[in-house]
Structure 1
Amino acid sequence: MEAKKRKSSDDEGEGAISYFPDDLLCHILSFLPTRAAASTSLLSKRWRRLFTLIPTSLDLDDSVFLPRDRPKECRRTSFMDFVNRLLALQSDSHIPTTKFSLRCHKGVDENLVEDWIHKALIRGATDLSLVLLFPSCGYTLPSCIFFYSQNLVKLKLGAGILGLVDSFKTHRPDFIFTKLKTLHLDSIDLGPFDPGFALLLSKCPVLEELIINNANWYQWDPTSVSTPSLKRLTFDCAHNLSKLKEGKLAQAYEYPPADISLTFYYGTWAPSTVSFDTPNLLYLDYSDFVANNYKLVKLDSLVEARLDLGLNGTHVYARDHLGYQIERDATNLIMGIHNVQTLHISSDTLELIDYTFDDLNDDVVMYFQVISDFCKTVPVFHKLNHLSIETDDERGWQALPLLLINCPSLQSLVFHGLHHSLTDGCGNACNCIPPSSSSSSSCLTTCPVKVLKILDFGATCGEMSLVEHFLKKLPRLEQVVIVLHSDSSQGEDADIFEVSEALEMAPRASPYCKLEVVHY
């Protein structure tokens, strides 16, 4: 009887979906984009009611309202009207808002934005994402955050300048994010000094994950990440790194201006002093220019680390073309990651490693070099069992022999490509330069690696020869996996059989080694 009434009602649409129970329809609507799900409320009275019953996750982006043919002529009144109607529609619902994501540009009323955020917070939002691209390139935290964010667990702030110190002082100096566990700052300028950032972290006593992308912290002195509860830290300055690695800024001048000191001129884009006071951190992803020094490093619990530490383009220019030297010391940073079990290093980081031998103690001493030696010693990585290395044909492998020697428990070794520039030092780990009769031993013969994986393999003669070298020297290999790249020298459809057959015939130090060649 109920089905007949529903079918004959003028308020209901026809079709099989009209017979679906409310719970199932709400579940289906929860997978749709916010704008598409909201549009179903126009179908009938039943659909209008259903939309208010969906566990609310609002993803609002004014760019979807831009007409493709005339985007510059679009006024964002349609977007503002849509959000106002949407929030009004849900005002009578007892279903809480779980996530509120807002991305908007010039033309959206800033007062309305704060009102939207306020409504989301009082409805219990636990996940708040704000990317407010206003013309002023800066905004302060809305005051409602300091009064209604008791349920906030995840917060993302994107773009602009945050007046954090003034915001906290003005609204509630004693305010803290009592439940905030994840904080994501993307392209945020926290100001020229560290106190704003340190103050923000001090307001997050249970923070477990911190993600910082494209942060401008080069003017801070010192720079510090100090959060005892933190378990995951991602610090990525790749945006600035990619610009300055090219050295375009330095190459614009033949020499620094006479009225600017060398340290200031060539140190502007690199952090001065960096500290990591994070004793419970388990995961670190650190991409930046190498700092002058690392004053305090507490990473006792670290399990996995990703390092992409490059040279400032102006430093490279000063070294290679002007003969200047600027000292760096990363000893504390490298000592601080000695407990890691998994380590990923970029080609830039690998190139920074150099080494000498201490003839008196027969100990290996490793040096990381940024214009001058900047890491005085490196510990043995006793717990390291997985090492992943990115390679580049412009970066050397002179550090690889000692790196392998200092990993006595290494089980898995992954190369992202087999590219590197020729140096005298890399001959110990590869066969590019034939070893002299006085030093015919190889670091590979004592390497405990059991699994060797090579990604982006191009099957060139040099790469094939290098794999044969690994097979011949590594005594404990049990598995070798080679992933062919689609742009290999043998064509887009490189013949797996030919590569496998050629390598199967190579002599092996380990009788238990199995070879597998697959496509990318």
Structure 2
Amino acid sequence: MAHLGAQSNSKCPEHFWDKDRLSNLLDSLLCHILSFLSTDEAVVTSILSSRWKTLWTLVPKIDFQDTFIRGRSVAPLRILYSVLAQHTAPILSNFTLSWRSPCDSSHFDNWVDTAILRNVQTLDLHFECGQLFELPHTVFHCKTLVGLELYGEIELDLPPSFQLPSLKILRLCEICYTSDNSFSSLCSACPNLEDLTVIYEFIVGNVSIVSFKISLPFLKRLRIDFISLETEPPDYKLEIYAPILERFRFFGYLSNMAFLEKLAHLIEAHFVVCGLGHVFEMCYSDKVFKIVRALNSSKFLELFPGDVECIGFGYIYPSMFQNLVRLNFKVTQSNWHVLQSLLVVAPNLEVLVLDKHYYRKNQLCCMEPPDGSGCLSSRLATFNFNGYEELGHEVEFIKYILKEAIVLNTITIKVSALHSKESVLKKLSMFPRHSTACLLTVEIDDSLE
């Protein structure tokens, strides 16, 4: 083999290993390679040789962050204008601008309009400069726009009429709205939207949106984060019409939310509800479980219904989670009964992951482990419990899983460093198991207090 290798190498020309084969590639291929770099990094390649000197100007993408060039002798403002002047690609597949330096709003308008004139397909604007920039109306008439992401100090003031028929992806992250119906009007002007992200912060002094209407027949992915820094939980109404929705994520404070159509195509759902603090609503559990029941077609579900006592008044029945294969559940002292209710109505569950979430010292809901077979999925193969503390109800629940799970392969228990891994393993190993092939392990998780 060594002899053959030597022969193979001897046939190669002496200059073979020194030859710059990369530079011999076509311009289109080299530009594709450079498109994976930020514009600042792509410009640096111009020093490699005369062959590379202007290649970056042909890349159909501009990705510029002023933080990358701070500390240089030339101001970021001048560098950006120089980049835009030298860049010659007639079409921009992507224009990404992240800006944190103070500047006049006229510059913001010029940069966005330049991208629009280049028939930009994806426009990503991230501004945190301590001042507010109004999004130019030219954006709302850009027929080539496929993706739009707005983050930070950008104000959305919509023109009287407009359409974005090509827009597929829309992400609105902590921006400002000039009126209560700005968000709903924007959604209605994007009839072919498939991916929507809304991160909205309820802040005193800003225009407070109280009505969110999402009516998008082709929407497949929806993420909603509702954040509030106010002492009182926000009061809003959210209506969602998305009949072919496949992935849904909600995080934050829940008020009045409703799906106007059954989510028959739902594959993945993440529903994480923040607590109400000192505010107590008897009807709050109805709001929570109304959404939980609407997610019953999902195959993968992450659920945290909240950690307030009123959750104890909610119910999941009569919904069946027939498609549910994996459940990630954040368990608290007040929602163990919710977990048990889900296990009863999820006959095809294969993976169960519990994350302990005991942040509040509220009273433990009345909870007794199920006492009969047939309640737990006969397909459960994996069970993980993160944050196990050997509390009585936790021990009883693990006993139940070990006793009823027919095909359980692995059970992993994670404890804090305050516990003895060996002691916990010894105690749990004494419990009877239905599945003789089940591998039980106990691990120390340093992230647990």
Structure 2 distance, partners of 1:295, 1:196, is: 21
Q: Hey, what's the Cα distance between the residues in 2 that align with 1:482 and 1:293?
A: 36
- Secondary structure in 1 aligned to 2:83? helix
Match of 1:79 in 2: 76
Given that 1:126 and 1:152 are in contact with CA atoms closer than 8 Å, whether structure 2 keeps it comes out as: yes
In the other structure, the counterpart of 2:195 is: 209
Aligned to 1:387: 327
CA drift of 1:178 comes to 1.7
- Matched with 1:115 is 110
Name the SS of the counterpart of 1:155 in structure 2: strand
Partner of 2:354: 415
Cα distance in structure 1, aligned partners of 2:145 and 2:34 = 24
1:11 corresponding residue in structure 2: none
Q: Evaluate the alpha carbon distance shift between residue 223 and residue 25 of structure 1 in structure 2; reply closer, same or farther with a 3 A threshold.
A: closer
CA contact (8 A) 1:387 1:413 kept: yes
**Contact 1:188 / 1:216 at 8 angstroms: preserved in 2?**
no
Amino acid across the alignment from 1:223: F
Task: Select 1:478's aligned residue among 391, 408, 412.
Answer: 408
The CA deviation string for residues 45-95 of structure 1, in whole angstroms up to 9 with x for no partner, is 433222223x3332211222333xxxxxx99x711111111111113x45x
2:376 and 2:317 mapped to 1: Cα distance? Answer: 22
Partner of 1:403: 342
Contact 1:401 1:443 in 2 (8 A): no
Counterpart position of 1:157: 150
> How far does residue 197 in structure 1 lie from its aligned partner after superposition?
1.1
Show the counterpart of 2:11: none
CA distance in 1, matches of 2:257, 2:147: 32
The residue correspondences of 1:444-463 to structure 2 (distance < 5 A) are 446-454=376-384, 456=386
Equivalent position of 1:282 in the other structure: 246
Q: How far 1:502 sits from its partner (Å)? A: 6.2
> Are the structure 2 counterparts of residues 133 and 293 from structure 1 closer, same or farther at C-alpha, using a change threshold of 3 Å?
closer
User: Contact 2:276–2:308 (CA<8 Å) still a contact in 1?
Assistant: no
Cα distance in 2, alignment partners of residues 190 and 277 from structure 1: 22
Letter in 2 for 1:156: E
Deviations 1:294-337 (A, max 9, x none): 4845433322211112332241xxx4xxxxx5644426433422
RMSD of aligned residue pairs (Cα, Å): 3.6
Check 1:27–1:291 CA distance in 2 against 1; reply closer, same or farther (3 A cut). Answer: closer
Give the equivalent residue in structure 2 for 1:3.
Answer: none
In structure 2, the gaps of 5 or more residues are 1-17
Identify if the C-alpha distance between structure 1 residues 467 and 503 changes in structure 2 by more than 3 Å, giving closer, same or farther: farther
Residues 123 and 148, structure 2, Cα contact 8 Å, conserved in 1: yes
Of 29, 46, 66, which residue of structure 1 is paired with 2:70? Answer: 66
One-letter amino acid of the structure 2 residue matched with residue 488 of structure 1: A
Count of residues in Structure 1 that have an aligned counterpart in Structure 2: 419
Contact 2:210 2:237 in 1 (8 A): yes
Cα distance between partner residues in 1 of 2:125 and 2:266: 31
Change (3 A) 1:32 1:163: closer
Deviates more, 1:411-420 or 1:394-403: 411-420
AA of the residue aligned to 1:346 = F
Q: Please state how far the C-alpha of 1:215 moved relative to its aligned partner.
A: 4.1
Q: SS of the counterpart of 2:175?
A: strand
Q: CA deviation at 1:468?
A: 5.0
Offset of residue 348 of structure 1: 1.9
**Residue 426 (str. 1) matches residue 379 (str. 2):** no
1:274/1:413 CA distance change after superposition, 3 Å: same
- Identical positions, percent: 23
- SS of alignment partner, residue 414 of structure 1: strand
Once the 2 structures are TM-superposed, how far is the Cα of residue 155 of structure 1 from its aligned partner?
0.7
Cα distance between partner residues in 1 of 2:99 and 2:303: 37
AA of the residue aligned to 1:389: F
In structure 1, the gaps of 5 or more residues are: 1-14, 68-73, 250-265, 320-324, 355-366, 369-374, 430-440
Residue matched to 1:304: 268
- Residues of 1 paired with 2:294 and 2:353: CA distance? 23
Equivalent position amino acid for 1:479 in 2: N
Q: 1:383 and 1:204, CA in 2 relative to 1: closer, same or farther beyond 3 A?
A: same
Structure 1's 338 and 181: CA in aligned 2 closer, same or farther, altered over 3 A? Answer: same
Normalising by structure 1, we get a TM-score of 0.69
Tell me if the contact between 2:334 and 2:365 (Cα under 8 Å) persists in the aligned partners: no
Which of 40, 43, 48 is equivalent to 1:38? Answer: 43
Q: Please list, as runs of the form range in 1=range in 2, the aligned pairs for 1:96-175 lying within 5 A after superposition.
A: 96-137=91-132, 139-147=133-141, 149-160=142-153, 162-164=155-157, 167-169=158-160, 173=161, 175=162
In the TM superposition, what is the alpha-carbon distance from 1:395 to its structure 2 partner? 4.5
SS at structure 2 position matched to 1:52: helix
1:443 CA drift (Å) = 7.3
- Alpha-carbon displacement from aligned partner over 1:368-427 (angstroms, at most 9, x marks no partner): 2xxxxxx696523233232111234x5541322222222233232121249697735223
Distance 1:116 1:305, change over 3 A: same
Aligned equivalent of 2:432: 507
Report the CA distance shift for 1:86/1:214 in structure 2 as closer, same or farther (over 3 A): same
Match of 1:70 in 2: none
